[in-house]
C-alpha cells in the first residue's frame, strides 16, 4: 500500500498528462480529477508518515545504488500536501480562462498537459532521493514552466520565456555536472548512500556546482533577473503555479544537499554567503516591488523577496548549528515560510487574474474602489497580504517568529534585522494596491462581472495560509519527522 | 602515455570550457543554444570517461544509461528553445534578448 501511496503522486499526473493530449476534450476535467486525487493521496501519505515515521520504497524492488529510491519524510510529505492543495485549487480556477478558448486555440489545448507535467515534476522532486532522478524531475518541471510562460504567444511573454530558458539551461547543466562528479567519486547517486561516505574535495566541488545550479533555478539574488517578467507575463493561473510552486522544488533539493547529503561540508563561510544572498534578495526584491506600477509585477518581485527568507535557514540551522536547540525552530520556519508563501502567493495571483479580467488591465490605477464590486477577491488579496507581511496569527507570522527566535537564540541577531526590515518593506509595497482597492471613491462602472465562485477560490488558499498560523503545533511536530541530524529537544513555538 | 579515459575526460572538460564561454559571451540566442549543446556534450563526455574502472572491470554501465537519458532531456530542452526562438524572431524580427541588444552577436 505504501508503495502505491508514494509512487502514485508521481505516476498519476504523468499518466493524466498523456491522456490530456490524447483526449483533449476531457483534459480540463481530467486535470481537476488528478489534482484532487493526488491531494487525497498526499494527505493519506502524510498521516502514514505521522504514524510510522519516514517511509522509503525501492521502485520495482531494485534497491539503491542500482535502483531509484523514493522517500517520504516530514519535509517531503509536507511539501507534497501543500503543493497538491495549491495545485487542486489553481486547476479549478483555470477552467474559465482556458476551457472557453476551446481545443482549437493553442493555449486551451496546451495548458492542461503542461500543468500536469509540472505537477509530476514537482512531486518527483519532493519524494526523490537520487541525484539523477532529481535532475530529470527539475528538467520536467522547468521545461513545462517555461512553456507555460510562453503559452500566450505574445512577444513579451516569449522574450520572458527565453530569458528564463537561458538561466534554466545553465542551472540544469551545472546541476548535472555536479551529479556526474559525485558519481565519479563515489559510484552512487543515492543521497542516503552518499551521506555515509567520507566527503572529499570531489564531493565539495560537486556540491558547489549543484548549489549554484539550484540557486539559479530558485532565483536567488543575483540570479533573479528572469523571474519577475516570466511570472508576471504568464496567464494568472500559470503565474500562480510558477510563483508558488516551481522555486520550492529546487529549494527542497538544496535543503537535502546541505542538511542530509553532506552537512559536514557546510562551512560557516558558505552558510553565511547563502544567508547573505537571501538577505540581499529580501531587501532588493522588496525595494524593486515598491517601484512597480503593475499589480502582477509587484506580486512577482515580492516572490524574489519572499524566496530570500528561505535561505536564512542555512546560517541558522546548517552545518554545526544542526545539533543546536534552535535549529529545529529555524528548520520548521523555512518550511512554514515556504508553505505560507505557496498558499498566499497562489491566492494573490489568482485574485490578480480576476482583477485583470474585471478591469481589463493590471495597472494599479484600475484597482481604485474595486472592493465594492469584488469584495470576496479583495478580501482574499488582503488576507494573503497579511501573511506575506508576517502580521500576527498568519502562517507568515509563525514562520518569521520562529526565524527571529532562532536568530536571537543563536546570537546571530543580524538576520533578525533583515526579517523586520523585510516585513516593513512588504507592508509598503502591499499597502498601495490595498489602499486603492479599499478606497471610498472610484469608478466601478465598466467592469466585466466575475462569478462569485471564482472569487471564493483565492479566498480558500488565503484562509489556508492564515489557518497555518493558528494551528501550527501539529505541522511543527510533523516537519521534524526524519529531520537529518535533529537535536533531541527543539525550541517550541 | 596518458590513459584514454583521462584523455576523454580532459577533452570533455575542454568542451565544457568552450561551451560555457560561448554561452556567456554571445548575444545571438541561436549561438548561445549551440554553445549550450557543446557544453552539455562536454558534460556527457566527462561523465562517460568517469565510468571507466579498470582493464579487468571494464566500464560501469550506469553512467551510459544516465547519459542517454540526459541526451533525451537536452534534446527536449533544445527543441523547446528553438521553438521559442523562432516565435520570437517572427514576432519581433530579433534573435537576442532586449538587454543584450548592441552586444556583438
In this prediction, residues A5-32 reach a mean pLDDT of 92
Nearest by CB to A163, from B63, B92, B97: name it.
B97
Lowest mean pLDDT among A113-127, A136-150, A460-474: A460-474
Angstrom CA distances, A466 to A154, A172, A307, A398, A459, stand at: 36, 35, 19, 10, 11
In this prediction, residues A157-163 reach a mean pLDDT of 94
Q: Do A180 and B98 touch (CB under 8 A)?
A: no
pLDDT at A491 over 50: no
Q: What is the pLDDT of residues A195-219, one digit of tens each?
A: 888 888 999 999 999 999 999 999 9
pLDDT at A394 over 70: yes
> What is the pTM for the complete model shown?
0.93
More confident position, B99 or B41: B41
Q: B32: helix, coil or strand?
A: helix
Q: Which residues of B touch A63 (CB under 8 A)?
A: none
pLDDT at A98 over 90: no
Angstrom CA distances, B92 to A383, B86, B89, B97, B104, stand at: 40, 10, 5, 11, 19
Shortest distance, CA B86 to any CA of chain A (angstroms): 10
Distance CA A349, CA A28 (A): 20
Q: Do A177 and B46 touch (CB under 8 A)?
A: yes
Q: What is the pLDDT of residues A334-351, one digit of tens each?
A: 999 999 999 999 999 999
| A485 — pLDDT class (breaks 50, 70, 90) | low
A24 and A16 Cβ atoms separated by less than 8 Å: no
More confident position, A197 or A98: A197
pLDDT at A486 over 60: no
**Which of B26, B84, B97, B99 best tests the A interface by mutation, with the highest count of A CBs <10 A?**
B84
Q: What is the pLDDT of residues A57-94, one digit of tens each?
A: 888 778 877 788 899 999 999 999 999 999 999 999 99
Residues A133, A138, A141: CA angle, nearest 5 degrees = 125
Backbone angles phi, psi at A70, to 5 degrees: -105, 140
Q: Which residues of A touch B84 (CB under 8 A)?
A: 146, 150, 158, 161-162, 165
Q: B52: helix, coil or strand?
A: strand
Q: B3: helix, coil or strand?
A: coil
Distance CA B80, CA B85 (A): 9
What is the dihedral angle through the alpha carbons of B86, B92, B94, B96, rounded to the nearest 10 degrees?
-80
Q: Which residues of A touch B43 (CB under 8 A)?
A: 173, 176-177, 180
A116 and A35 Cβ atoms separated by less than 8 Å: no
Nearest by CB to A155, from B39, B47, B91: name it.
B91
B84 touching A, CB under 8 A? Answer: yes
pLDDT at A320 over 80: no
| A492 — pLDDT class (breaks 50, 70, 90) | very low
Predicted pLDDT of residue A481: 85
Kindly report the length of chain A: 493
pLDDT at B62 over 50: yes
Nearest by CB to B76, from A143, A163, A173: name it.
A143
Shortest distance, CA B90 to any CA of chain A (angstroms): 9
Q: Do B60 and A162 touch (CB under 8 A)?
A: no
ipTM exceeding the 0.85 mark? yes
Q: What is the pLDDT of residues A258-302, one digit of tens each?
A: 988 888 888 889 999 999 999 999 999 999 999 999 999 999 999
Predicted pLDDT of residue A102: 52
Distance CA B14, CA B31 (A): 18
Q: Which residues of B touch A177 (CB under 8 A)?
A: 16, 43, 46
Task: Please state at what angle helix A246-255 crosses helix A131-149, rounded to 10 degrees.
Answer: 160
A174 and A135 Cβ atoms separated by less than 8 Å: no
A94 and A87 Cβ atoms separated by less than 8 Å: no
Give the closest residue to B19 by CA, choosing from B1, B38, B6, B2: B38
Distance CA A164, CA A149 (A): 9
Predicted pLDDT of residue A487: 42
Amino acid at each position: 500500500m505504501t508503495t502505491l501511496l508514494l509512487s502514485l503522486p508521481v505516476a498519476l499526473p504523468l499518466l493524466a498528462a498523456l491522456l490530456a493530449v490524447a483526449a483533449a476534450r476531457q483534459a480540463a476535467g481530467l486535470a481537476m480529477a488528478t489534482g484532487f486525487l493526488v491531494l487525497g493521496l498526499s494527505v493519506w501519505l502524510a498521516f502514514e508518515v505521522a504514524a510510522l515515521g519516514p517511509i522509503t520504497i525501492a521502485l520495482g524492488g531494485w534497491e539503491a545504488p542500482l535502483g531509484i529510491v523514493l522517500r517520504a519524510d516530514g519535509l517531503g510529505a509536507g511539501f507534497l500536501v501543500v503543493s497538491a492543495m495549491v495545485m487542486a485549487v489553481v486547476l479549478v480556477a483555470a477552467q474559465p480562462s482556458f476551457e472557453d478558448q476551446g481545443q482549437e486555440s493553442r493555449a486551451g489545448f496546451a495548458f492542461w498537459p503542461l500543468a500536469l507535467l509540472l505537477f509530476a515534476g514537482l512531486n518527483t522532486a519532493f519524494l526523490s532521493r537520487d541525484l539523477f532522478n532529481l535532475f530529470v524531475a527539475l528538467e520536467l518541471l522547468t521545461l513545462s514552466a517555461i512553456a507555460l510562460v510562453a503559452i500566450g504567444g505574445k512577444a513579451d511573454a516569449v522574450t520572458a520565456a527565453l530569458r528564463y530558458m537561458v538561466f534554466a539551461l545553465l542551472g540544469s547543466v551545472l546541476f548535472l555536472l555536479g551529479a556526474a562528479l559525485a558519481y565519479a567519486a563515489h559510484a552512487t547517486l543515492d543521497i542516503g548512500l552518499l551521506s555515509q561516505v567520507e566527503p572529499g574535495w570531489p564531493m565539495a566541488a560537486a556540491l558547489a556546482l549543484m548549489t549554484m545550479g539550484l540557486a539559479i533555478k530558485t532565483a536567488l539574488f543575483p540570479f533573479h533577473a528572469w523571474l519577475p517578467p516570466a511570472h508576471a507575463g504568464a496567464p494568472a493561473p500559470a503565474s500562480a503555479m510558477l510563483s508558488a510552486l516551481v522555486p520550492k522544488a529546487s529549494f527542497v533539493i538544496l535543503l537535502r544537499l546541505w542538511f542530509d547529503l553532506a552537512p559536514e561540508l557546510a562551512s560557516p563561510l558558505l552558510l553565511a554567503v547563502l544567508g547573505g544572498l537571501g538577505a540581499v534578495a529580501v531587501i532588493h526584491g522588496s525595494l524593486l516591488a515598491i517601484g512597480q506600477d503593475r499589480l502582477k509585477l509587484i506580486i512577482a518581485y515580492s516572490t524574489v523577496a519572499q524566496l530570500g527568507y528561505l535561505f536564512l535557514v542555512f546560517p541558522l540551522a546548517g552545518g554545526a548549528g544542526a545539533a543546536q536547540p534552535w535549529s529545529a525552530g529555524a528548520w520548521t520556519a523555512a518550511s512554514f515560510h515556504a508553505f505560507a508563501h505557496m498558499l498566499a502567493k497562489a491566492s494573490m495571483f489568482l485574485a490578480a487574474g480576476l482583477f485583470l479580467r474585471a478591469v481589463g488591465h493590471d495597472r494599479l490605477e484600475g484597482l481604485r474602489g474595486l472592493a465594492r464590486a469584488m469584495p470576496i477577491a479583495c478580501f482574499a488579496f488582503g488576507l494573503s497580504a497579511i501573511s506575506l507581511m508576517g502580521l500576527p496569527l498568519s502562517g507568515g507570522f509563525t514562520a518569521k517568529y520562529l526565524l527571529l527566535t532562532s536568530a536571537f537564540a543563536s546570537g546571530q541577531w543580524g538576520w533578525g534585522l533583515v526579517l523586520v526590515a523585510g516585513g516593513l518593506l512588504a507592508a509598503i509595497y502591499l499597502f498601495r494596491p490595498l489602499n486603492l482597492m479599499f478606497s471610498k471613491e472610484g469608478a466601478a462602472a465598466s467592469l466585466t462581472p466575475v462569478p462569485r465562485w471564482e472569487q471564493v477560490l483565492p479566498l480558500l488558499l488565503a484562509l489556508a495560509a492564515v489557518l497555518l498560523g493558528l494551528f501550527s503545533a501539529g505541522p511543527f511536530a510533523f516537519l521534524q519527522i526524519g529531520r537529518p541530524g535533529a537535536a533531541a529537544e527543539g525550541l517550541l513555538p | 602515455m596518458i590513459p584514454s579515459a583521462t584523455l576523454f575526460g580532459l577533452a570533455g572538460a575542454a568542451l565544457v570550457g568552450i561551451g560555457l564561454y560561448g554561452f556567456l559571451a554571445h548575444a545571438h540566442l541561436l549561438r548561445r543554444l549551440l554553445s549550450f549543446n557543446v557544453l552539455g556534450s562536454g558534460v556527457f563526455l566527462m561523465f562517460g570517461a568517469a565510468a571507466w574502472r579498470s582493464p579487468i572491470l571494464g566500464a560501469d554501465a550506469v553512467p551510459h544509461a544516465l547519459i542517454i537519458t540526459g541526451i533525451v532531456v537536452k534534446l527536449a530542452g533544445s527543441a523547446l528553445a528553438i521553438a521559442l526562438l523562432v516565435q520570437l524572431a517572427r514576432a519581433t524580427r530579433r534573435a537576442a534578448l532586449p538587454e543584450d541588444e548592441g552586444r556583438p552577436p
